């Protein structure tokens, strides 16, 4: 069985994901596997990295497709026997000018950003080796969205004992409430992206708790905000470069063994931040 170390970054053909791939290609002692939905764009990103003197491999991945995730899991198991770094960067955001119904934005955003990330974790976590690091890219909008939730929803999302089924139920309720046109009266903010990223943040806290309960050896999960970055997703309005946006996620991916903090936290600018 191959034992070469492996880092996987989802959604890494451009933007912050590309920046993370660039950092890990320089700093991680092992192979870097960059993924993207579009093989042509993914291979082009690998070629661009190579022109900069960085080596990475490409694997096609659509995080909204369970079979696609399963193919990645099988490849990792067969070729590497395990996984050392997982950066869940892939995600979507509707533009503020989008004319798509809010119910559609809610369903699509949650399916990709929350359910897609959770499904990647569920299929790849069995492959995590001791001292593995998992980084889930959340957003400052998750904090803002949480502050605009009703007190009842805030209490549920910040309950230190919240379970994954309870979190999934809340995210499903958001989708249902938007479809029924009652999300605001039921205490939800009108930001599909923000609510989906609440899910990513809380998911990260739960995953760390579950790993600890299972007695896993020094596997660390953190959520982070990369900041407001100049990318297609922000319509290039962010002041940060992709390298600046990649800094905190890469820092978390490369945390040394037996770190006590940050661990199961929400991190921005390399600092643990209160999430409420």
Q: How many angstroms separate the CA atoms of 35 and 88, rounded? A: 10
SS3 269: coil
Distances from the Cα of 181 to the Cα of 105, 144, 154, 156, 196, angstroms = 13, 22, 20, 22, 18
Is there a contact between 90 and 63 (Cβ–Cβ < 8 Å)? yes
CA atoms in the 13 A half-sphere facing the CB of 40: 0
Catalytic residues: 193
> What b/e readout covers 14-29, taking b as 16+ CB neighbours within 10 angstroms?
bbbbbbbbbbbbeebe
From the CB of residue 74, how many other CB atoms can be counted at a distance below 10 Å? 11
Residue 266's nearest CA partner among 276, 257, 253 is 276
From the CB of residue 96, how many other CB atoms can be counted at a distance below 10 Å? 6
Is there a contact between 8 and 77 (Cβ–Cβ < 8 Å)? no
Tell me whether residue 242 is exposed, middle or buried, using C-beta atoms within 10 angstroms of its C-beta: 0 to 12, 13 to 18, 19 or more: buried
Q: How many angstroms separate the CA atoms of 137 and 22, rounded? A: 17
HEC string for 44-91: HHHHHHHHCCCCCEEEECCCCCHHHHHHHHHHHHHHCCCEEEEEECCC
């Amino acid at each position: 069985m191959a034992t070469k170390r492996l880092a996987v970054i989802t959604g890494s053909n451009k933007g912050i994901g590309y920046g993370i791939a660039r950092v890990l290609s320089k700093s991680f002692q092992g192979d870097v596997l960059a993924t993207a939905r579009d093989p042509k764009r993914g291979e082009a990103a690998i070629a661009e990295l190579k022109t900069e003197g960085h080596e990475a491999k490409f694997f096609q991945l659509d995080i909204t497709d369970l079979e696609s995730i399963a193919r990645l899991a099988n490849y990792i198991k067969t070729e590497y026997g395990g996984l050392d770094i997982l950066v869940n960067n892939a995600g979507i955001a509707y533009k503020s000018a989008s004319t798509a119904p809010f119910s559609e934005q809610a369903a699509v955003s949650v399916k990709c950003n929350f359910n897609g990330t959770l499904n990647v974790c569920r299929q790849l976590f069995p492959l995590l080796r001791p001292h593995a690091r998992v980084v889930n890219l959340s957003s400052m909008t998750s904090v803002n969205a949480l502050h605009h939730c009703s007190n009842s929803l805030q209490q549920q999302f910040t309950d230190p004992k919240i379970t994954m089924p309870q979190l999934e139920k809340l995210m499903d309720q958001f989708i249902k409430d938007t479809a029924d046109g009652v999300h605001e009266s039921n205490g939800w903010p009108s930001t599909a992206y923000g609510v989906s990223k609440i899910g990513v943040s809380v998911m990260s806290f739960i995953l760390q708790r579950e790993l600890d309960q299972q007695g896993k050896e020094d596997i660390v999960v953190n959520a982070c905000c990369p900041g407001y970055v100049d990318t297609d997703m922000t319509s290039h309005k962010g002041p940060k470069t992709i390298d600046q946006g990649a800094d905190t996620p890469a820092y978390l991916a490369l945390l040394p063994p037996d770190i006590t903090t940050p661990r199961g936290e929400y991190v921005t600018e390399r600092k643990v931040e209160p999430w409420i």
